[in-house]
Amino acid sequence: MLSTTKATTILPVRDMDRARSFYEKSLGLTPAGSMEEGSFLFSDDGHNGIELMLKPESSPSGNTELSFEVEDIATELSALKSQGVRFEDYDLPGLKTVNHIAESDALKAAWFTDTEGNILCLHQVLT
């Protein structure tokens, strides 16, 4: 029923200008404009989007909020690092990164945080 509907991920931000700059300049997302006072939308195709919502008292959930599927994770990771994005490393039971990338039989993944502490991910599906 909902597989063809517009989908928007809404992320809380404490500082809209700082967050907008990160998503636009560091991640290269296409700004679509303000939705209403206190929110801003990024959407390249007009169908799916990321909305930043000003929540000055918010705190990050501690979980991955959003994952971007990419064709080549190593290339994207390198490009984002050149824009100042810092990737996390993990050494946990069931999750270990090597050069910022965790790998399973089905996918590769790398995590980073935005300026507001939201955890974001890159993932590459392995075929």
> Phi first, then psi: what are they for 70, rounded to 5°?
-125, 160
Strands 95-96 and 91-92: antiparallel
Rounded-to-5 percentages of helix, strand, coil across the chain? 15, 40, 45
pLDDT digit string (tens) for 33-54?
Answer: 888 889 999 998 777 899 999 9
pLDDT digit string (tens) for 78-122?
Answer: 999 999 999 999 999 999 999 999 999 999 999 999 999 999 999
Task: Over range 52-65, report the average pLDDT.
Answer: 93
Strands 48-54 and 7-13: parallel
For residue 85, the model assigns a pLDDT of: 97
pTM (two decimals): 0.91
Beta-bridged to residue 48, according to DSSP, are 7
For residue 45, the model assigns a pLDDT of: 77
Which residues, 6 or more positions from 3, have their beta carbon under 8 angstroms from its beta carbon? none
Across 81-105, b (16+ Cβ under 10 Å) vs e yields eeeebebeeeeeeeeebeebbbeee
d(CA 3, CA 12): 25
**Domains in the chain, CATH or no CATH each:** 7-125 (3.10.180.10)
Task: Over range 58-85, report the average pLDDT.
Answer: 95
